[in-house]
């Protein structure tokens, strides 16, 4: 397709296609469109397009209510073994984030020196992390135990 044929109608039809044929939810469709819009902006900057086909197109995301995983769901994930070490490592990082409440970005920056022995004689570690608002938080890093 010639890039100069991009218009508001094409963008609207693409959104409809994402939702109906690809079965994407609203926010997923908006994410695809946001990435496509980046390409369109580059085309505008290079003079390959004379007007923005996204002009007047609403890309508002819908608020999503997320529910915390149950203890049973976390235990099920913990028991899952994958065929590759990489996926098992990702599972472990995900569970670590769930148990500590640390965001992935904070876990990625976490250093061994920030993981210390817990108050129970070293059996359960705790994490000391300085957040972006300069506050230091100390979190229990042990998994939830069966009652």
Quick one: which H or E segment has residue 105?
helix 104-109
From the number of C-beta atoms within 10 Å of its C-beta (0-12, 13-18, 19+), residue 18 rates as buried
Q: What is 59-115 written as a DSSP string?
A: -PPPP----PPPHHHHHHHHH---SSHHHHHHHHHHHHHHHH---HHHHHH--GGGE
pLDDT in tens for each of the 147 residues of the chain? Answer: 888 889 999 999 999 999 999 999 999 999 999 999 999 999 999 999 999 999 999 999 999 898 889 999 999 999 999 999 999 999 999 998 888 888 888 888 887 777 776 666 655 556 655 555 555 556 555 555 544
Please tell me the predicted confidence (pLDDT) of residue 131. 57
Give the pLDDT score at 61.
92
- Per-residue pLDDT at 141: 58
Which run of H or of E encompasses 137?
strand 136-140
Per-residue confidence (pLDDT) for residue 132, from 0 to 100: 59
- What are the distances in angstroms from CA 100 to CA 13, 48, 67, 113? 43, 49, 17, 16
Q: Is the dihedral of CA 17, 23, 26, 28 positive or negative?
A: negative
Residue 137's pLDDT is what? 59
pLDDT of residue 147: 41
User: Which 3 state secondary structure label does DSSP give 130?
Assistant: strand
pTM equals: 0.57
Where are the strands (E) in 41-117, listed by range? 115-116
């Amino acid at each position: 397709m010639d890039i100069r044929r991009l218009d508001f109608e094409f963008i609207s039809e693409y959104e409809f296609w994402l939702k109906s044929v690809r079965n994407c939810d609203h926010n997923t469709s908006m994410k695809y469109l946001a990435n496509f819009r980046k390409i369109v902006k580059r085309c505008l900057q290079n003079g390959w397009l004379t007007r923005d086909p996204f002009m007047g197109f609403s890309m508002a995301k819908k608020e999503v209510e997320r529910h915390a995983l149950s203890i049973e769901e976390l235990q099920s994930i913990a028991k899952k073994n994958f065929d590759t070490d990489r996926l098992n490592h990702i599972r472990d990082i995900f569970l670590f984030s769930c148990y500590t409440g640390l965001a992935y970005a904070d876990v990625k920056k976490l250093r061994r020196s920030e993981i210390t022995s817990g108050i129970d004689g070293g059996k359960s570690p705790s994490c000391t992390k300085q957040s972006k608002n300069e506050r230091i938080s100390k979190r229990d890093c042990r998994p939830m135990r069966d009652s």
